[in-house]
Amino acid sequence: MKAFLIDRYGKNNGRIGEVPAPVVGAHDVLIEVHASSVNVLDSKISKGEFKLILPYAFPLVLGNDLAGVVVRIGAQVTGFKPGDEVYARPPEARIGTFAELIAVDENAVARKPANTTMAQAASLPLVALTAWQVLVETAQLKKGQKILIHAGSGGVGTLAIQLAKHLGAFVATTTSTANVEWVKALGADAVIDYTQQNFESVLYDYDVVLNSLGADVLEKSLKVLKPGGQLISISGPPTAQFAQEQRLSWPLQQVMRLLSLGIRRKARKQDVSYGFVFMRANGAQLQQITALVEDGIIKPVVDRSFTFESTAEALKYVEQGRAKGKVVVTLK
């Protein structure tokens, strides 16, 4: 089958090639991929930024999101049948959605929202699960609380704004001048144009900050939180708790502990907590997201669509960091 793959870590080294069809395990669902979406994670994986915690073998098929049709099921699968339209974020150890077929553990799969196209559905899993696991699972965001979501026009930001509003929170976000009105339309109550204002000088007394940017923004975010608030980052630095959850070696756990030591200390001084969230595949949560999409509460946001043959170009476009929402690759 055709797939977009890398033979080694490095920059701009992906290619379309032939790889064997997936082996379907007893608990796997074999899916014909109709669309996938491109994430910053794909670029980071291809450059080797996760090789210490995710030791992939080569050739490695990239891709972390998919929507498609079930073509075969494993002997122990009970929740799906051939012909089902589904979407998923595969577990990180078995990525590879930039391909004609992929075998995914059924626990990571959910039925595609009926009111979406394949491309729209493919844009959702990774970013929607990230938003869910930060806001619902980790922050336990409640009605009336205040949350700052950085990079509101990005893939995670667009979904997090919608989910936070559904949960009843007051939502602030940061974006550039061109996107101010656009993120307001998504539901943001307060929008900071980072080209004109410093968010840490304007916002205060917040319960939660969702950070997806660099270390400088992470540290400044402490200033907007009230005592007892939560600073949650999806861009690092990782913590020892994360390393334990990933079952990394003891030396790597200590490395992660040291990487996050500075920000954890500064957070403690201000009586706030710091947490790192590395999104994980979860079909049950994705099924709850399906219900929100079908009810019109969450709407997919697709910036551009590329053909499968233009996957490398799609990756380069995402790396520029200017996409409004998600970038999709279509195979069917």
Q: Using one digit for the tens of pLDDT, what is the confidence trace for 193-237?
A: 999 999 999 999 999 999 999 999 999 999 999 999 999 999 989
Task: Using a cut of 0.85, tell me whether the model's pTM lies above it.
Answer: yes
Q: Per residue in 15-63, pLDDT tens?
A: 999 999 999 999 999 999 999 999 999 999 999 998 888 889 999 999 9
Q: Tell the CATH superfamily of the 2-123+300-330 domain.
A: Medium-chain alcohol dehydrogenases, catalytic domain (3.90.180.10)
Where do you find CATH 3.90.180.10 in the chain? 2-123+300-330
**DSSP letter string, 204-273:** -SEEEEEE-S-HHHHHHHGGGEEEEEEEEESSS---HHHHHHTT--HHHHHHHHHHTHHHHHHHHHTT-E
User: What are the start-end ranges of the H helices in the chain?
Assistant: 40-46, 118-122, 125-132, 155-166, 180-186, 199-202, 215-221, 240-245, 250-259, 261-269, 283-294, 311-319
According to CATH, the topology of domain 126-276 is: Rossmann fold (3.40.50)
What percent of the chain has pLDDT above 70?
Answer: 100
Where do you find CATH 3.40.50.720 in the chain? 126-276
